[in-house]
Structure formats: structure tokens, C-alpha cells
Amino acid sequence: MILSIENISVQDDVVNVEAIVEDSCVVFKATRFDPEELGPGLCSASFTLSEDEVLPEDEDELVDFIDSLDLEWQLVDTSDY
């Protein structure tokens, strides 16, 4: 689930999104007694818009629209930040 959209860009019909996605990165590694704990992280994903599709302008509607696509989110390396 997307917590917030950080950046979105559209080139031709390809939409690139950077968002904070819940349960996307390991916060605490698994131990012998406890499973790993996941937390929110900055992720990126891309998708293609069909000709008749338009991105919602309202941020909540945009988050709902992107969440409904069930994208493959990739964790962004933020180690240089």
C-alpha cells in the first residue's frame, strides 16, 4: 500500500513513480526467536497508460489508482542521501 507519492513523471505513455510503500524494507532482521520486521521505504515503479486513460489529479485518487495496479515496487537505494 502506498503511504505517499514522492515523485511522478510521465514520458509519452510511460509513468514513473517514486513513493513511500509500506512493508517494503527490512527494519529489523529475523532472529532465532522473531521473524524479520518490515517497514516503509522509498520505492519506484513504472507502468504504461492506455490512450484513453488519464491520471487522476486528486492525490488520494491518484494513490488509489496506482495502488489498484498492483505494481512491482523496487526499493530505491538511499544510501547516498
Give 20-50 as a DSSP string: EEEEEEEEE---SSS--EEEEEEEEEEEE--
pLDDT bin (cut points 50, 70, 90) of residue 43 is: very high
Residue 57 has what DSSP assignment? S
Give the three-class secondary structure for 62. helix
DSSP bridge pairs for 42:
20
Cβ neighbours around 12 below 10 Å, total: 7
- What's the confidence (pLDDT) of residue 79? 78
**pTM (two decimals):** 0.84
